[in-house]
Amino acid sequence: MKEILRKASAISAAAALREETGFFVKEDMERIYQEVRVVGLPL
C-alpha cells in the first residue's frame, strides 16, 4: 500500500509540473518518487 501511495503521489506531482493535463514526464516522476515518504500508516 505504501508503494502505491508513493507512486501515485509522484505521478500526481510530476503531472502538476506540466502545462497540459493528464500527462507527466517519466523522469520527473522517478526523481520525485525518490523524495516521497509515506508516514503514519500501520502497514
Residue 20 lies in a domain: yes
Residue 39 lies in a domain: no
Residue 40 lies in a domain: no
pLDDT tens sequence across 2-43: 999 999 999 999 999 999 999 999 999 999 999 999 998 775
Residue 7 lies in a domain: yes
pLDDT for position 43: 58
Domain count, the chain: 1
Residue 26 lies in a domain: yes
Residue 25 lies in a domain: yes
pTM of the model: 0.85
Residue 42 lies in a domain: no
- For the chain, the DSSP string reads -HHHHHHHHHHHHHHHTSSSTT---HHHHHHHHTT----S---
